[in-house]
């Protein structure tokens, strides 16, 4: 290890400078905090030095010193022990660490929010661990890793949430709202790991425009992801292992969970991999489910008396489960359940009743591999994304990814039928300053009626500021129901 220390001595100053962090003699826009056990080279550059006892005091002081301006905090390699919340009094703050070697550790067996964002926007949390001390220290009192109270434009990247105890209230990320549907919004959670979480790994309430992607959920007491009345959220490419519920789309007596997509996830050893409880207009597609009790279930919320209706379940592979897809309460209607594949189901592949459509005729599908560009300020056709299927009722599904060359811009996509926009199908992507030239997944699903055989179903897009957009590989599926 000696050579590592020597390397840090030689190169740490330039590395910190490249990241935009200054020394303790520099300005206050970017600050370095060292833990009590950080290497000396980090301590030499630190603006704040923690002592291993109530380290939230030094961290909160550093954040407060940024006043109301945006700024960055760099947490050096080491262990930070806290017994009350790290607070975020300002917007536009970035907290970064050194990956798994930067660990924020709960040091008191009492209930509190370890990182409390409040009603903030523009917060970025990246590259560190949040440890609830539910293993070695044996803490049992529930706590929350990251607490969000409304807010928007938040980014949580490469955070490991570990050993947070509490079967009721022990959450990795918990979102509380003021009861206003649609907040918080525009949140990206990506490349995170959730290990040994007592309750929900991510508990989202009344949120919209969330994307959770490329995350790992392992040994979760209740839900990997719990939506509670959220809308327009994407859950893409995640892995769930040993969860009670992998993903639950529900209302809990609050509001419908609707217009969400669950695509390309893998589930293993979950009691119920995907549970739709009073959700509607959601798309469940291309997921792999193995070694569980139920693959996908559709249910009925007794408190709200809302059914699970108008969902699309297609192209999922379910193996080594007791049940494949089951309508559990007999109160789920008008769902499209088609082209799912089953292997080694010990009881029944599909238990479906009511006014649901199972395995209808094969769809019309168009694909495009080559990128296409546009800078139109009004809605124009995305190249290749048009189908003229004839008259009838159709389930339409579009998926792709879009990026913009310029920061702080918005891009929109929408379905058109016969030259007219389809209500409630407009989707928006926000490209913030730090994420220009980054592609974001986008999907649209809707039930549409075509009353004229000459009318086409199209996907159109625009950028109101006239900046160049790029749409990557894309697919439009139109299926008669």
Whether residues 388 and 373 share a domain: the answer is: yes
Domain identity same for 291 and 251: yes
Spatial CA neighbour of 471 closest among 412, 392, 395: 412
Residues 235-269: tens digit of each pLDDT: 999 999 999 999 999 876 677 899 999 999 999 99
DSSP E strand boundaries for 264-371: 266-268, 272-277, 279-280, 283-285, 288-299, 312-314, 317-327, 336-338, 341-343, 348-351, 357-358, 364-368
395 lies in the same domain as 320: no
Please give the DSSP secondary-structure letter assigned to residue 315: S
**Domain final position from 358, 381, 416:** 358
Cα torsion 34, 39, 45, 47 to 10°: value is 20
Report which of 280, 336, 341, 287 is spatially closest to residue 312, judged by C-alpha positions: 336
Give residue 25's pLDDT: 40
Residues 303 and 368 in one domain: no
Nearest partner of 399 among 234, 210, 246, judged by Cα? 234
Residue finishing a domain among 305, 331, 358: 358
pLDDT in tens, 40-80: 999 999 999 999 999 999 999 999 998 766 789 999 999 99
Residues 6+ apart with CB under 8 A from 379: 412, 414, 416, 421, 460, 461, 462
For residue 423, give its domain range. Answer: 364-480
Same domain, residue pair 134 and 153: yes
Domain finish residue from 320, 340, 358? 358
Please tell me whether residues 470 and 351 are part of one structural domain.
no
SS3 content of the chain, % helix, strand, coil (to 5): 10, 50, 40
Q: How many domains does the chain have?
A: 2
- Convert the pLDDT of each residue in 118-144 to its tens digit: 888 899 999 999 999 998 778 999 999
**124 near 151, Cβ under 8 Å?**
no
> Within its chain, how far is the Cα of 290 from the centroid?
22
pLDDT tens digit sequence for 405-455: 788 889 999 999 999 999 999 999 887 656 666 788 899 999 999 888 789
- CA 97 from chain center: how many Å? 21
CATH number of the domain residue 290 falls in = 2.160.20.10
The tokens for 118 are 């409040």
Specify whether 331 is located in the same domain as 469.
no
Q: Let me know whether 9 and 64 are in one domain.
A: yes
- What average pLDDT does the structure give for the chain? 87
Does 471 lie in the same domain as 350? no
CA atoms of 364 and 193, how far apart (whole Å): 38
CATH number assigned to the domain comprising residue 453 = 2.60.120.760
**In a shared domain, residues 189 and 295:** yes
Residue 282 corresponds to which tokens in the numbers above?
A: 């959601």
């Amino acid at each position: 290890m000696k050579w590592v220390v020597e390397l840090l001595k030689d190169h740490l100053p330039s590395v910190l400078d490249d990241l935009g962090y200054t020394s303790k003699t520099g300005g206050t826009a970017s600050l370095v905090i060292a833990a009590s056990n950080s290497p000396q080279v980090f301590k030499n550059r630190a603006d704040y030095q923690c002592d291993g006892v109530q380290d939230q005091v030094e961290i909160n002081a550093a954040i407060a010193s940024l006043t109301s301006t945006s700024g960055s905090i760099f947490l050096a390699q080491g262990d930070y022990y806290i017994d009350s919340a790290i607070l975020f009094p300002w917007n536009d703050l970035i907290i970064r660490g050194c990956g798994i070697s930067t660990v924020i550790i709960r040091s008191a067996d009492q209930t509190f929010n370890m990182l409390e964002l409040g009603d903030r926007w523009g917060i970025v949390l990246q590259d560190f661990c949040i440890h609830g001390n539910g293993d070695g220290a044996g803490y049992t009192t529930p706590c929350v890793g990251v607490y969000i109270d409304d807010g928007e434009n938040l980014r949580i990247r490469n955070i490991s949430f570990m050993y947070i105890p509490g079967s009721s209230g022990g959450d990795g990320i918990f979102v509380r709202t003021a009861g206003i549907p649609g907040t918080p919004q525009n949140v990206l959670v990506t490349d995170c790991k959730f290990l040994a979480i007592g309750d929900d790994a991510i508990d989202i309430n009344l949120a919209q425009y969330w994307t959770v992607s490329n995350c790992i959920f392992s040994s979760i007491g209740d839900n990997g992801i719990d939506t509670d009345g959220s809308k327009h959220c994407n859950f893409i490419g995640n892995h769930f292992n040993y969860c009670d519920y992998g993903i639950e789309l529900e209302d809990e007596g609050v509001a419908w969970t609707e217009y969400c997509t669950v695509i390309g996830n893998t589930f293993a050893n979950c009691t119920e991999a995907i549970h739709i409880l009073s959700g509607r207009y959601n798309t469940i597609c291309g997921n792999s489910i193995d070694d569980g009790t139920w693959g996908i279930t559709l249910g009925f919320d007794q408190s709200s008396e809302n059914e699970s209706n108008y969902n699309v379940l297609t192209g999922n592979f379910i193996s080594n489960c007791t049940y494949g897809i089951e309508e559990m309460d007999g109160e789920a209607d008008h769902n499209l359940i088609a082209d799912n594949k089953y292997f080694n189901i010990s009881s029944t592949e599909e238990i479906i009743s009511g006014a649901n459509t199972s395995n209808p005729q094969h769809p019309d599908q168009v694909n495009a591999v080559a990128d296409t560009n546009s800078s139109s300020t009004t809605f124009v056709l995305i190249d290749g994304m048009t189908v003229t299927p004839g008259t009838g009722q159709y389930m339409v599904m579009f998926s792709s990814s879009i990026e913009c060359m310029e920061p702080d811009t918005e891009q929109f996509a929408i379905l058109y039928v016969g030259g007219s926009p389809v209500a409630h199908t407009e989707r928006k992507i926000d490209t913030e300053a730090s994420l220009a030239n980054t592609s974001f997944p986008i999907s649209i699903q809707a039930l549409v009626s075509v009353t004229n055989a000459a009318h086409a179903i199209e996907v159109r897009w625009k950028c109101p500021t006239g900046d160049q957009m790029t749409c990557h590989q894309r697919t439009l599926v139109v299926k008669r129901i």
